[in-house]
Amino acid sequence: MTTKMCWWVLAAIHAMPAAALFLPSLVTRLYGVEGGSTVFLLLHHRAALFAVIVVMCVWAALRAEVRPLAVAAVGLSMLSFLLLYALAGQPGALRAIAVADLLGLPFLAWAAWAAYRPAAA
């Protein structure tokens, strides 16, 4: 049950940025980028990628056999952002995103441990 809860928490963390796929005004609200720019287009596409992450989390909550793949996908998403954020000097405008990812790391760690632990003999 704990592992499933971790996947639902991870899905919830990624739901808001994923929602920007269907509500483009969220791109402006979340990132401060006005519509019509190429950056807006990239961030709107980023929302589609977050939708994939949400689907992966929900799928992993429901199906144990996809959890190793989901750990890899979600981990790559979260850890790569945190690394890039740190390398960019921790820009204040992106702090909330970094905090959300940091808060999600313990849930991801539990999910990863559960997905990759050796099966009981």
pLDDT tens-digit profile of 31-73? 888 888 999 999 999 999 999 999 999 999 999 999 999 999 9
Q: List the one residue out of 90, 108, 88 whose CA is nearest residue 99.
A: 90
- pTM value is 0.89
Q: Exposure string (b/e) for 53-73, b if CB count within 10 Å is 16 or more?
A: bbebbbbbbeeeebbeebbeb
Q: What is the mean pLDDT of the chain?
A: 93
Name the token pair of 25: 């005004």
